[in-house]
Each structure stands twice: as C-alpha cells, then as structure tokens.
Amino acid sequence: IVLPGGDPGYKNLMKSHDILMLVKKFYENGKLVGAICAAPLVLAKAGVLDNKLATIYPGMERDIPRPRDASVIVDGNVITSKGPGTAIEFALAIVEYLLGKAKAIELKNIIVA
C-alpha cells in the first residue's frame, strides 16, 4: 500500500479508522507500506513508524518518531519520501523493493532520471 500526501489528503487518511487498520495490517504482514510528503504522519498514527527511520515533508519532522533528512528512506518494508520533488526517486525505490535493483535501474534509464 502506498499513501499519497498533500493537504487535505493526508488529514482525511488520518481520520479513517479503516485506512489506519489497513496500513497496520499490511505492515504487520510484511507487505510494502509507502508514504510520500505528509502521509508518513498516517503511518505514525497507525504505529508503523515507532521503530522505523522515515522522512517527511520539510517542517513536519517533529511529528514522526525517528525523522531523517533524506529524499527517500527505505527501512525494511517501509518506504517514505519527502514530497513531490522526490516522487521519481520514491517510485524507483518502490520498483527496486518489489522487482529488484536491475528493474529499477532499467526503468531509471528509460525515463532518463
């Protein structure tokens, strides 16, 4: 599952008990959980970031447990990214996680990233 950020999108996701439970279930079952921009706040609210490094939209770092200043952070099955300007790097990290490094490099070369 990959959550988009943006306002008010992330706020609406945070209000949904069903979304929070789905995110937690994916995480607990070892499935990919991704979030970009402000959406890592949703992961934090679901308890997914308690023991994970993560990144988030600049200025919101204090709202997640273990923030790091990076475009993309991959910590186990959790992938987070800062925002719209890091979307391609985020997408490539997801491709690498799901399909392997060779596919991510192939895609990166095709899209000239």
Residue 59 belongs to domain with CATH number: 3.40.50.880
* pLDDT tens for the 113 residues of the chain, in order: 999 999 999 999 999 999 999 999 999 999 999 999 999 999 999 999 999 999 999 999 999 999 999 999 999 999 999 999 999 999 999 999 999 999 999 999 999 87
Using CA atoms, how far residue 64 sits from 5, 25, 49, 112, 113, in Å, is 14, 19, 7, 33, 29
| Residue 27 CA neighbour count, 13 Å, CB half | 25
What distance in Å separates the CA atoms of residue 63 and residue 30, rounded to the nearest whole number?
24
Q: Is residue 107 part of a domain?
A: no
What digits encode the pLDDT tens for the residues 58-89?
Answer: 999 999 999 999 999 999 999 999 999 999 99
Bond prior to 67 in cis (omega within 30° of 0): no
Query: Is 43 marked active-site?
Result: no
Number of domains, the chain? 1
Q: Which one of 13, 37, 60, 74 is the catalytic residue?
A: 37
- Tell whether 105 is covered by a domain: no
Does the reported pTM lie above 0.85? yes
CB-CB neighbours of 41 under 10 Å: 23
